[in-house]
Amino acid sequence: MTATRILCLGECMVEMAPREDGAYLRNFAGDSFNTAWYLRRLLPDGFTVDYGSAVGTDAISHSMLAFMQEAGIGTDHVRRIAERTVGLYMIELEHGERSFSYWRGQSAAKLLAEDEAALLRMMEGAGLILFSGITLAILSADHRGNLLRALARARADGATIAFDPNMRLRLWADAREMCDAVMRAAAHADVVLPSFDEDGPNYGDATPEETIARYAKGGATTVVVKNGAGRIHAFDLREGHAVFDPVPVTAVVDTTAAGDSFNAGFLSARLAGKGLVESLSAGAALSARVIAARGALVP
């Protein structure tokens, strides 16, 4: 994989997270954004990491953009839409369990793929483009079509496309719509990064090998099946099959962004020319660090 410009596409939200004293901390997070944030920290300066999305023109949208820029993430392709603002989620602690409430139905990011020409401009010159099942889920069917056509064009122009299915049933009309949309999108991807706890039940895959086979048949050249603390199964067209056993994290503090940070660790190792097993190890090492601390973005 050769690339110096990375583009991650999706929705970054305001996160309100409770502190121990009951006050709330305002953060910014979202799956593909979390991966962009970790990629920026992992990759050498010669790489550019851009985020592709949409926000409002209000104060909180400006704060989000400033946060991205301070993290070294390019925001030239974050559209500003005056009539909308950014989405928000709140974390509540109930008997020690975290539960999430979302306000994102009218978020600006839902319009990130409204303009196909803008998507093509956004993707121009990108060597690696990452999107997810959540990126897809927030779009209308028409806009999803715009996104997939633009990705196909970028791929034909030489970009590597990476896709994390990140299946969130509540963002879809039903399981059938979600499963169909994810498989259609995966057909545009070179690298697919599913989690077995989602893909297994949703597609009836009995084993991670079946998950690999399904995406490989769809055209992916690299598939990595994450599996919580369990064995990671991977396949690459040139390197064949590989497995990696993560060192179990016993003191798990917060699993938010386990998969997102894994993706960043894995992809940055691939960009550095590392082999499959070494790259799985890099992904697992980063996510182990992330789940041992609070929050999605662990410095």
Locus of tokens 């896709």: 163
Closest approach, Cβ 246 to ligand ADP, in A, equals 4
The reply to whether 228 sits near ligand ADP by the rule CB under 6 A is: yes
The reply to whether 229 sits near ligand ADP by the rule CB under 6 A is: yes
For the CA atoms of the chain, what is the radius of gyration?
A: 18
**Nearer Cβ to ligand ADP, position 160 or 166?**
166
Q: Give the helix/strand (H/E) hosting 145.
A: helix 141-156
Q: Round to whole Å and give the CA distance between 101 and 81.
A: 24
Closest approach, Cβ 292 to ligand ADP, in A, equals 9
The reply to whether 86 sits near ligand ADP by the rule CB under 6 A is: no
Interface with ligand ADP by CB under 6 A: which range of 121-129, 175-183, 252-260, 266-274?
252-260
The reply to whether 10 sits near ligand ADP by the rule CB under 6 A is: no
Closest approach, Cβ 7 to ligand ADP, in A, equals 21
Q: Which amino acid is at 206?
A: A
Binders in 158-197 for ligand ADP, by CB under 6 A: 195
| Among the listed residues 258, 276, 282, 296, the single contact to ligand ADP using CB under 6 A | 258
Judge contact between 15 and 89, C-beta under 8 A: yes
- Tokens, residue 241: 């099959």
Outline where DSSP puts E strands in the chain. Answer: 5-9, 13-18, 24-29, 48-55, 78-80, 88-94, 97-103, 128-132, 160-164, 191-192, 222-225, 232-236, 240-244
| Among the listed residues 30, 74, 259, 295, the single contact to ligand ADP using CB under 6 A | 259
Q: Round to whole Å and give the CA distance between 4 and 225.
A: 26
Question: Measured between alpha carbons, how far is residue 214 from residues 160, 183, 187, 202, 290 in Å?
Answer: 19, 9, 10, 13, 29
The reply to whether 252 sits near ligand ADP by the rule CB under 6 A is: yes
Residue of 175, 170, 89, 182 lying closest to 133 (CA atoms) = 182
Minimal CB distance residue for ligand ADP? 259
The reply to whether 227 sits near ligand ADP by the rule CB under 6 A is: yes
**Nearer Cβ to ligand ADP, position 8 or 65?**
8
Residue tagged active-site, from 50, 164, 205, 260: 260
The reply to whether 262 sits near ligand ADP by the rule CB under 6 A is: yes
Annotated active-site residue 254? The verdict is no
Site string for ligand ADP, 42-71 (x = CB under 6 A): ------------------------------
| Among the listed residues 77, 79, 110, 226, the single contact to ligand ADP using CB under 6 A | 226
Q: Tell which phi-psi region holds residue 219, choosing left (phi > 0), alpha (psi between -120 and 50) or beta.
A: left
Question: Measured between alpha carbons, how far is residue 216 from residues 24, 44, 49, 130, 213 in Å?
Answer: 44, 31, 27, 18, 5
| Among the listed residues 109, 123, 291, 298, the single contact to ligand ADP using CB under 6 A | 291
- List residues near ligand ADP by CB under 6 A: 195, 226-229, 232, 246, 248-249, 252, 255, 258-259, 262, 284, 287-288, 291
Catalytic residue IDs: 260
